[in-house]
Structures are given as structure tokens and as C-alpha cells.
Amino acid sequence: MKYIALTLSLFCFLISNLARAQSFNNASEYLDFVGEEQQAITKNMWKYTKAVAHSKNDRSIIGKRKNLLKTIDKAILKIENAEGFDGDDYKNQVLKHMQLNKSLLNHDYAEIVDMKAVAEQSYDAMEAYIIAQEMADKKMEESQHDYKTNFLAFAKKHDIEIIESENDLGRKIKISNEVFEHYNDMYLVYFKVYINEVYLWEAVKSNDVSAIQQNANALNAAAKEGLEILKTKSQYKHDDSIINATKIAFEFFIDETENKMPQLTDFLILNEDFKKIKNNLEQTPKRKRTKEQVEAYNKKIKDINNAIKNYNKVNTELNTQRQNTINGLNSTNAIFLANHIPND
């Protein structure tokens, strides 16, 4: 009985001379051939799928996908041109696996990259993007499981005992999908609240007091609801780091809306009043200006100068606190993934 190591990967990626069909003397030679074809792609495909989830450089991701697709086509052609062993059943199973993963690259992950570009515009768009990503990852996991099943069945049929590798890609994908299920679930809880802050600051930039108050109320309610939702969330393998970091973010949003935002709207209202008094005074000829008009204007100047100082102070505090909070959450997310995603 021959022993060979099982090295699993998603695709066959080896550029070689395709002019001459290969033939095989026994089943173990054919498994070696298939395994050799797949070894080159294991880490590259693994890194690519993780880049889709994390990389900010979409152009780089697209370029990697195009290169992978070209290599898949060459690998498929090599498998097709080579003879199968004991018929073409196993050969066709391998080709079906490759074609499915090619389709995932060519369609599912391509659509995910497109969806990613608009995901942050709304909660619905973000939810759709994450669901699509999870579905593509699940298809990949199922495809890898089917490939492994067929691999082991072919080996058993031909009395070849397989020693399974610790680097089994199917195991990595399964664990990775479990990790991302928790991560994505927590991110959607966070994003459903965070998107309200995006809308709030759009209103602040336009100096729209009514819109500021409306979006501040929405953010406050969403953050408080988010805190209640966090109480229902389970840790991932005793790791509650993302839950705690998200809680800190929600507490910041509540403080922002209850204690800081009213000071900003007070300034905007005061500034509008000042503009009206100033405009009224400037439109009144100097000889017709009353003592009350001048005193009201002078008083508003003092009030507006003090208000500007406070407005700038509150803005600076908010920017610092927001940056620290978001950096803390991003750092926590990165550490969480690094701790739980299997190494390459």
C-alpha cells in the first residue's frame, strides 16, 4: 500500500507544456499529477479571497483575479489534454471543481468587488454586500468539500491510503467562514448605527439645524438600540473583543448626540441671529440707527465670539474622540481576525 500526503487546494495552477498528452501507469501517479497541479494555487487563492474581504485596493484585486482566471484556463486545458486513469470519472470531477471555482472568480467575486464600491452608502447596500460575500465563501467551502470527498473516494478505490495535511484548505475555509460569520454579524450591528452618524455630519456640514436635530435623534435611538442588541450577542470562542469595542463606539455616539451636538446647533442658531442683526444694522443708515440696535449688535458680537471658541473646542474634541473610537474598533477587528483566521 502506498502512502501519499493529501494536499488540497482550490485550483490547478501550473503553467506547463500542453502540447503532449500525459498518461499514467497507476492511480497514485494520477493523484500526484492532480496534487502537483493544485499546490501552486493553494496559498495564492487563499490570499486572494481574504484580500477581497480586507484590501482597500480594488484595482489590485481585479488585476489578481484576471491573472488567476488566465492561469485557471491553462490548468483546465492541461487536465483536459491529459489522460484520465481508470476512465474519466475522476478527471471530470476535478474539472467540474475547477470550472465552479472559475465561475466564482469570474462572477460572484467580481460582483462583490462592484458591490463593495457602494456598500457604505446605505445599510441595505452594506447588508447585500456582506450576504453576497458570505454566499460566495460558502460556495467555495462546499466546492472544496466535494473535491476532497472525490479525492478520498478515488484513493480508496485504488487502495491508496491518504495522510491528511494540517494545511487542508477545506478546514481553513470552514474555520474562516465561521470567524467571518461572527465578524460580519457584529459589523452589521455597528454599521446600522454608524450610518446615522454619516448622515448627521452631512447635515452639520450644510449647517442645517433641523436636519442635524433629526439625524442626531436617529443616531441616539439607534445607538441605544444597538447597546441592547449587543447584550444578546455571543462571544466567539470566549473572545468578546469586538462586542466591547462596538459598545464603546455606541457610547461615544450617545455622548456625541446628547452632550456635544446641542452645543453645535446652539452656535448655528446664534450665528443665524447674528447675521440677521448685522444685516439689519448694515441696511439702516448710520444717522437712523438706534441705540438699541447698536447695543444689540455689540452684544451679539461678544456672544458670537465666545460661541465660536466653544464651537471649535467641541469640534476638536469630537474629532479626536471619534478618531480614537474608530481606530480602536478597527484595531480590535484586525486583531480578532489575526487571532482566529488560520495562517497561510
Q: Please write down the HEC assignment for all residues of 109-128.
A: HHHHHHHHCCHHHCHHHHHH
Q: Mean per-residue pLDDT for 293-301?
A: 85
pLDDT at residue 8, rounded to an integer? 43
Q: In this predicted model, what pLDDT tens digit does every residue of 38-83 receive, in sequence order? A: 766 666 777 776 676 666 677 777 777 887 888 788 888 888 999 9
Q: Mean per-residue pLDDT for 24-34?
A: 89
Distance CA 312, CA 309 (A): 5
pLDDT at residue 344, rounded to an integer? 62
C-alpha cell at 183: 465578524
pTM of the model: 0.77
Res. 3: pLDDT tops 50 = no
Range from 62-66, 83-87, 111-115, 244-248 carrying the lowest mean pLDDT = 62-66
- Tally Cβ neighbours within 10 Å of residue 136: 19
- DSSP 3-state of 56: coil
Res. 17: pLDDT tops 70 = no
pLDDT, the chain, mean: 86
Res. 197: pLDDT tops 80 = yes
pLDDT at residue 11, rounded to an integer? 36
Strand partners, 161: 3
Distance CA 309, CA 9 (A): 61
The CB-side HSE value for 310 (13 A sphere, CA atoms) comes to 18
Distance CA 339, CA 66 (A): 30
Distance CA 316, CA 97 (A): 55
Res. 189: pLDDT tops 90 = yes
Range from 18-22, 172-176, 183-187, 228-232 carrying the lowest mean pLDDT = 18-22
C-alpha cell at 54: 480586507
C-alpha cell at 190: 455597528
DSSP state of 28: H
Range from 98-112, 121-135, 201-215 carrying the lowest mean pLDDT = 98-112
Strand partners, 63: none
